[in-house]
Amino acid sequence: DVLSSMAHLGTKLVNQETIGRPTDDGYFSQGKLSSEFVAQTAAHRLSHMLLSKVRGEFFEAEVPIAFIDATLAPPPVPDMAKATIALVTDGGLVPSGNPDRIPRAFAQVWGAYPIEGMESLLSGEYEVAHGGYDNRPVEEDPHRLVPVDVLREMEREGLVGKLHPEFLSTTGNSNPLENSRRMGREMATRLIEAGVDSVILTST
């Protein structure tokens, strides 16, 4: 069967014929998307898939479904009034000029930016490196993504012990899972070594 599939595919390639889907022409999926003209509308196809699922019948989704391992919730922080809290975001907030050159999508790097002694983040001193949402509200007020101002108030009121002296940032836009996990581990290592007890992770 394998040799027959290879011969069939090879013949199509030699003859410059249109290559079909992996399931039709017997090759490994490469994750590429292509447009097709079909008789049924998207709503009709979706309804058919939903009914098949409800009836327990076989159906094939048009987009491959990724199965992600469950993430266990961490234990609660024993005493927030004594805890060191860090701010982390995947919304792409960076100092003006984007010193770490974090891209607007598919980021493979992250940055750590100082906030020690700062009561707030000033508009004009930060920008957003993220192509997945309208950046203007965050650039007008960076606290919409990284709430330094609120955490400083909580410090003064004794609701948290202290705010970690830097925030960490990257871009989650269109990021592969394994790449995100790697950056997450790197961030976690840095924060654990710094004695951080808890993280507020903001997203968009």
Q: Is residue 63 part of a domain?
A: no
Which tens digit of pLDDT belongs to each residue from 126-174? 999 999 999 999 999 999 999 999 999 999 999 999 999 999 999 999 8
Q: Are residues 86 and 179 in the same domain?
A: yes
Do 94 and 193 belong together in one domain? Answer: yes
Residue 117's pLDDT band (cuts 50, 70, 90): very high
In the three-class reduction of DSSP (H, G, I as helix; E, B as strand; rest coil), residue 88 is classed as strand
Say whether both 111 and 18 belong to one domain: no
Q: Which amino acid is at 146?
A: V
Same domain flag for 27 and 98:
no
Overall average pLDDT of the 44-68 stretch: 87
**Quick one: tokens of 195?**
């004695």
Domain boundaries, position 112: 80-202
Residues 27 and 95 in one domain: no
Of 6, 66, 60, 69, the C-alpha closest to 31 is 66
Dist CA 158 CA 133 (whole Å): 35
Residues 6+ apart with CB under 8 A from 157: none
Residues 176 and 85 in one domain: yes
Confidence of residue 27 (pLDDT cuts 50, 70, 90): confident
pLDDT score recorded for residue 104: 96
Q: Where are the alpha helices (DSSP H) in 27-176?
A: 42-55, 136-140, 148-156
| Token pair of 137 as six digits | 């509200």
In a domain, 64, yes or no: no
d(CA 132, CA 173): 6
- Is residue 74 domain-resident? no
Rounded-to-integer distance, Cα 162 and Cα 148, Å: 11
Q: How many domains does the chain have?
A: 2
The per-residue pLDDT for 109 is 97
Q: Which residues of 103-131 are buried (b: 16+ CB within 10 A; e: fewer)?
A: bbeebeebbbbebeeeeebeeeebbbbbe
Arithmetic mean of pLDDT over the chain = 92
End-to-end CA distance of the chain: 48
71-105 pLDDT, tens digit each: 888 899 999 999 999 999 999 999 999 999 999 99
Tokens for 148, please give them: 């330094």
Cα separation of 33 and 27, whole Å?
15
Assess if residue 69 is contained within a domain: no
